[in-house]
Homo-oligomer: A and B are copies of this chain.
Amino acid sequence: MMKNLSKDALITLEKELTARYAAFKAKGLKLDMTRGKPAGAQLDLANGMTTILPATDFKSADGTDARNYGGLDGLPEMKELMGAILGVPADAVIVGGNSSLQMMHDQIVRALLHPVPGATLAWGQQKIKFLCPAPGYDRHFGICQHHGIEMITIAMKDDGPDMDQVEKLLAADASIKGMWCVPKYANPTGATYSDAVVDRIAKLKAAPDFRVFWDNAYVVHDLTDTTDPLKDILAACAAAGYPDRVYIFGSTSKISFAGAGIAAMAASKANLADIKKHLGMQTIGPDKVNQLRHLRFFKDLAGVRAHMKKHAAIIKPKFDAVVAAFAKELGGKGIAEWTTPRGGYFVSLDLLDGCAAQVVKLADEAGVKLTNAGATFPYGKDPRDRNIRVAPTLPPLDQVETAMQVVALCVELASARKLLA
């Protein structure tokens, strides 16, 4: 345990670490671990998708010409596939363009401008708040901040958000209108919500226009041969008497192509009718030719699952390298805790309080770009300045290994300096 070292021993350690850090710095590294982007090798897995549509195949199962206008909520068979991926009935699905983030953003905008089912006022006519389990996804928080929605940080536990805190806050404050959730292999902690947590979310006493934004981004993104079970939130909300509580989101961005996949959302009948009323003013419909490409290539959920095993084969070694480096360099020192994800795109690293920004800075100066410290919290401010999101998928394995050596060293150095201060 570093904190048990004497001051002299710490001073010696700090000098030694500083020397090792200088040696890394001298190497002039240029490594980027900032974003959860798939690697080229992962994208290559779906290259066949681009050539799979012959120039004569444009009809969907119901005879629709995918090239022409129309199809506001997607081809029926694409709803089937996205429903199967998201674990909801096909008729609960609206297929979108290439971005689930856009579907989330646009749903918030719709609710800001027009009352959601069950409400009389639009969110924009009130001062509203969102619950934000954190560490979480920076782009979720960015949407709230951009639109002036106040964010309340909720602690993330191994089985999901701290529901005691959520229940207490909601009971006391009717201006809380939303909650962000990444329920499976959460960004960045990798946690999957337990059945009990899903049920508690479904049963929350809340305002009639309270909505859960259920970003199931990693639903089929297993790193191992098993998949974490996740209870069906749509059914749970219906069973609890709050059928309109949840908007579910997902996409094939990290299945097919990150920038040219298919996004979708799912919701109750009343929510779907409401969304389509607005959507019909915004667009004539999403790209159905790209839907056909996906359908011809993946065929069904089994096809998707088989494809995801190929992804796992590429990225699992990178996750293993991150965890192995942390275990080797940081294990037993009492200065860091990290997750060992079973799926998703991130490793979450917690340091001694007050060390995260310093580690990101040190790593940056040594040529290793990390996601900004604080990015995983509302307003970009980690109250304990201790969480770092590690995104190992994009760089090649050897770069991940090198980068993690640098990061581990920076953690040690920052910790020693912190303990000396």
Residues of A that sit less than 8 Å from B by CB: 35, 37-38, 40, 43, 46-48, 50-51, 53-56, 58, 65-71, 97-99, 101-102, 105-106, 109, 112-113, 124, 139, 142-143, 146-147, 253, 257-260, 278, 281-290
Given known A-B contacts A258-B67, A283-B101, A48 and B55 have beta carbons under 8 A apart: yes
B288 touches A259 (CB 8 A): yes
Can you list 30 A-B contacts with CB-CB less than 8 angstroms, sorted by A residue number?
A38-B68, A43-B67, A43-B68, A48-B55, A50-B289, A51-B53, A51-B55, A68-B259, A69-B253, A71-B259, A97-B97, A97-B287, A98-B286, A99-B282, A99-B283, A101-B284, A105-B281, A106-B282, A109-B113, A113-B124, A139-B284, A142-B281, A143-B282, A146-B281, A259-B284, A259-B286, A259-B287, A259-B289, A260-B287, A287-B290
| Distance in Å: Cβ of A371 to nearest Cβ of chain B | 14
Chain B residues lying within 8 Å of A46, measured Cβ to Cβ, are: 67
B282 near A260 with CB under 8 A, answer no
In Å, the complex CA distance between A54 and B113 comes to 44
Q: Contacts A37-B68, A51-B54: A257 and B113 contacting too (C-beta < 8 A)?
A: no
Chain B contacts for A48, CB-based, 8 A = 55
Closest to A263 in B: B283
Residue of B nearest to A257 (CB): B67
Minimum CB–CB distance from A217 to chain B (whole Å) comes to: 12
Flag if A98 contacts B101 (CB, 8 Å).
no
Q: Which of A40, A51, A69, A112 has the most CB of B within 10 A?
A: A69
Q: Say whether chain A's binding surface is mostly helix, strand, loop, or mixed.
A: loop
Q: Which residues of B contact A98 (CB under 8 A)?
A: 97, 286-287
- Give complex CA distance A143, B279 in Å: 10
Q: Report how far A35 CA is from B69 CA in the complex, Å.
A: 10
Q: Give how many copies assemble into the complex.
A: 2
Q: Report the Cα distance A157→B47, complex, angstroms.
A: 51
Q: Which of B65, B69, B258 contacts A40 (CB 8 A)?
A: B65
Report B-chain residues with C-beta under 8 Å of the C-beta of A146. 278, 281
Partner of A105, one of B58, B71, B124, B283: B283
Complex Cα–Cα for A297 and B284 (A): 24
Known contacts A50-B53, A66-B259, A97-B98; 13 further A-B pairs (Cβ under 8 A): A37-B69, A47-B58, A50-B289, A67-B258, A99-B285, A101-B282, A102-B283, A109-B109, A113-B124, A143-B282, A259-B289, A260-B289, A287-B290
Query: Residue of B at shortest CB range from A53?
Result: B50
A161 to B253, CA, bound (A): 44
**CB of A308 to closest CB in B, whole Å:** 17
Which residue of the partner chain B has the closest CB to A102? B283
Contact A68 B287 (CB under 8 A): no
Cβ-closest chain B residue relative to A253: B69
Bound Cα distance A287, B98 (Å): 6
Question: Considering the chains assembled together, what is the distance between the CA atoms of A66 and B260 in angstroms?
Answer: 8
Enumerate chain B residues within 8 angstroms of A290, measured Cβ to Cβ.
260, 287, 290
Assembled-state Cα–Cα distance A38/B67 (Å): 10
- By a CB distance below 8 angstroms, the chain B residues around A260 are 66-67, 287-290
